[in-house]
Amino acid sequence: RRAQQLALAEQPARSRDGISVAVAANLGSVADARAALDAGADGAGLVRTEFLFLDRSAAPSVEEQSAEYDAIAEAMDGRRITLRTLDVGGDKPLSYLPMPQEANPFLGQRGIRLSLEHRDLLRDQMAAICRTARDHPTSIMIPMVSTPGEMIEARQVLMEAAGSAGLPQGLHVGTMIEVPSAALKIEAFLPYVDFVSIGTNDLTQYALAAERGNAAVAALSDALDPGVLQLIDHVCRAARGRIDVAVCGEAASDELAIPVLVGLGVRELSVSPPAVPRVKAAIRELDTGRCTTLAEEALTLAGADDVRKLVLAMLEEDE
């Protein structure tokens, strides 16, 4: 029985009408990678590398980082890993990165903004990622990008980090889409990215001006708000047939969000390791044609509650 379950876990998730949707895992440690493989993850869609940098007095060396990235890649047993460069800021300070106090850390110097101010740190991390990418299928992903200029600068640092050997073969370079203006300007990013991954946690907080983690505005901060869905739709339309679009925020494991995301054209969901089997099971129940119709209607609705009702009605009809 367990062997059967494991075998099913490892199968790719295909909808009823035969469309494959990759289900990858979000990781924050080597232990997470082992859990992800056991759960049947098709890859690591988001490795939050912060775990290597927090709670220490100096940044990890290139060697130390590369050893950890290798360990994650090895635990994922040949599946692609997507390493996100350091995403810290005023809300997650590092003792060795002096940062001014900010009144609004979520609107301040975080993610790539901070990394471009500390290029040595970014270059070292990119050098470590390049090392791992020479031996394992690896993607590099840049967080909190607002402008194509930031992506161009990040790529320059990456070229420096890669050195005379050049970019490793098979290294994919992508950006997270977490800032509403970046979603709207997606077309301008396409020359500089091999893929994008939509971070619905931050995209939602910025689109609705409702801080994530603030209980008082939690009801507002809902990724199923049609305003957020319109941003995702805009990204998917521009990307179609050109680059892959993944979603790696919490919405990717929300059973009422999955049909809408698939309907908008998302073909990779990256979720916490324990959620992988449940998300695969949800995809196997879907018909993507119906999801497309559903998503088109969802885009026209007034609020997240209306979208949830619409999705529930479809799922109940199918039971």
Sites of contact with ligand PEP (CB under 6 A):
46, 48, 87, 178, 199-202, 248-249
Which partner from the list ligand PEP, Mg ion, none does 238 bind, CB cut-off 5 to 8 Å by kind?
none
The single residue listed with the structure tokens 């999955």 is 258
248 binds, among Mg ion, ligand PEP, none (CB under 5 to 8 A by kind): ligand PEP
Burial profile 186-204: b = 16 or more Cβ within 10 angstroms, e = fewer: beebeebbebbbbbbbbbb
The least CB distance from residue 178 to ligand PEP, in Å, is 5
Q: Which residues contact 231 (CB under 8 A, 6 or more apart)?
A: 177, 180, 183, 184, 203, 207
Residue 225 in tokens: 């708000």
Nearer to Mg ion, 178 or 225 (CB): 178
The distance of Cα 76 from the centroid of its chain, to the nearest Å, equals 17
Beta strand 81-84 with 172-177: parallel, antiparallel or unpaired?
unpaired
Residue 14 vs 48, nearer CB to ligand PEP: 48
The answer to whether residues 87 and 144 touch, using CB atoms and an 8 Å cutoff, is yes
Instruction: Pick the closer one to ligand PEP by CB: 49 or 138.
Output: 49
Q: Which of Mg ion, ligand PEP, none interacts with 109 (beta carbon under 5 to 8 A by kind)?
A: none
Report in angstroms how near the CB of residue 266 gets to Mg ion at its nearest: 17
CB of 212 to ligand PEP, least distance (A): 8
Nearest residue to ligand PEP on Cβ basis: 199
> Which residue's CB comes closest to Mg ion?
202
CB of 199 to Mg ion, least distance (A): 4
Q: How far is the CB of 204 from ligand PEP (least distance, A)?
A: 8
SS3 content of the chain, % helix, strand, coil (to 5): 55, 15, 35
Q: How far is the CB of 110 from Mg ion (least distance, A)?
A: 9
Q: How far apart are CA 319 and CA 309, in angstroms?
A: 15
- The option from ligand PEP, Mg ion, none interacting with 200 (CB < 5 to 8 A, set by class) reads ligand PEP
Partner in contact with 292, chosen from Mg ion, ligand PEP, none, beta carbon below 5 to 8 Å by kind: none
User: Which of Mg ion, ligand PEP, none is residue 277 near (CB under 5 to 8 Å by kind)?
Assistant: none
Q: Is 60 helix (H, G, I), strand (E, B) or coil?
A: coil
d(CA 146, CA 196): 13
CB neighbour list of residue 120: distance below 8 Å, 6 or more residues apart: none
Residues that bind Mg ion (CB under 5 A): 178, 199, 202
